[in-house]
Amino acid sequence: MKRSTARWILLLLTAINFVNYMDRFVIAGMYDALHTEFGISNAEFGLLTTITFGLHAATTIPFGWLADRWNRRWLVFGAVASWSIATILCAVVKDFWMLAALRGFVGLAEAAYGPVSIVILCEIFPEEKKAQTIGIYNVGMFLGTGVGLAMGASLSRHLAFIVVGAPGLALGALALIMPVSATRVVQDTRRTSLREKAHLFWSQLTHLMSLRTLRWMLVGGVLVSFSAGGYITFVQTFVARFKPGFTAQSTGITLGVVSLIAGASGLLVGGMLADRLQKKYAYGRLLAVALGFLICTPFGIGTVYLDDKLPFLISAFLLIFFMVWYNGPISAVIDDCVDPKEAASAQAAFNFVIHLLGTAPAGIAIGAAADASPAGSRLAFVLPTIAALAGVAFFFVGCRHVRRDMDERNRRVEEERAAGLLPAA
């Protein structure tokens, strides 16, 4: 594929990822508005995140399995169009539970996008730039999160959902003309029964769970996803409540700008560092993940307890900068270790576990802790930092197993190329 074509695809998928996270986290800036309109508590506000990520997790594996077998362009289009329409409908509902149902559908539709987009990028860019490429792609995540927070805090609920939801309809249509093959590998055209397909699906998941690298990464991923989900859900409310000089509106805008700059720069630096470490060590990309979370820990504590505006903003910036290092490398490590026939399924299985056990319960758990604590959410907001630090140990242990799993993967790839199931390198 021409370099210019690959870059165009990267730009499009990054733009869709921007819309993805803008739609996902616009609601995080709406606590005051939703509390006034529906009378919700901290726990109920956290429940919106739990529902979104719960349904996201529940449907990730089936969508990932489908992405290895179905036309990827149509899958991307269907996902983007569906979550965009659901987001726009959130503008007109008049009942909290209808809003919760639509947010759940947003999470469900977004589950179809992540695995297939990452697999496409890993396919069309060189191996040695894999983490850097996914890091650039995930710049859209932090740009979208930052803009979503700002939109949710500064616009009315009705206007915010329409503004963030509409662009996805146009971007989804562009996905239909992406010049990529329908699937990554040659597909078996033999007719198989539903029972045979279910058996194949289960066999592939069993094989993925046999990879030691993936198992250790899953535990670490659950912990750091709990951390990230907790931070994003309550950061706007926490800052407006506890930090002097911030209002609800200024908090959303300020944190949006900080997230945009720190997140984008951290993703690029983390991806480039990971690829450089990979040239020296087989576990270089996973090492970058562990180092990022280890370094960010003191800044997580500082973000909670530093109240002067400048020290707080510096600490928050550095927390985000180092924490986001993991996004590009961790997806690249998965692709490094799994058979290309199972690439989307592996990304989906990983996302399923970390979102179901980590991100989904984070909102309601931290919200309930804030409601129950005499100190309010200040003490509860320490929990994400503790979770991130705990995840570091599991990533370091996972580094011990990367070389073996990569060697086995490379052996299988050569066999499949010889059999004509994969294109030549």
Average of per-residue pLDDT values in the chain: 85
**Domain residue spans of the chain:** 3-176+201-418
What pLDDT shows up at residue 1?
A: 74
Task: Assign domain 3-176+201-418 to a CATH class.
Answer: mainly alpha
Q: Exposure string (b/e) for 21-53, b if CB count within 10 Å is 16 or more?
A: bbbbbbbbbbbbbbeeeeebebbbbbbbbbbbb
**Residue 410 to residues 44, 150, 168, 190, 378, Cα–Cα distance (Å):** 47, 45, 37, 26, 48
Q: What is the pTM (predicted TM-score) of this model?
A: 0.74
Segment 115-152, tens digit of pLDDT: 889 889 988 888 888 888 998 998 888 788 878 878 88
Which phi-psi region, left, alpha or beta, contains residue 72 (left: φ > 0; alpha: ψ -120 to 50)? alpha
Q: Rounded to an integer, what distance in angstroms lies between the CA atom of residue 89 and that of residue 287?
A: 42
In the 8-state DSSP scheme, what is residue 188?
P
- Give the whole-number percent of the chain exceeding pLDDT 90: 36
Instruction: List, for residues 289-343, the tens digit of each pLDDT value.
Output: 999 999 999 999 998 888 888 898 999 899 999 998 988 899 899 988 888 777 7
Please write the tens of the pLDDT for every residue from 8-32. Answer: 999 999 999 999 999 988 888 787 7
**In the prediction, which pLDDT does 322 show?**
95
Check whether 163 has a pLDDT greater than 90: yes
pLDDT at 370: 78
- Tell me, what's the pLDDT at 296? 92
Residue 189 has pLDDT above 70, yes or no: no
Q: What is the pLDDT of residue 16?
A: 96
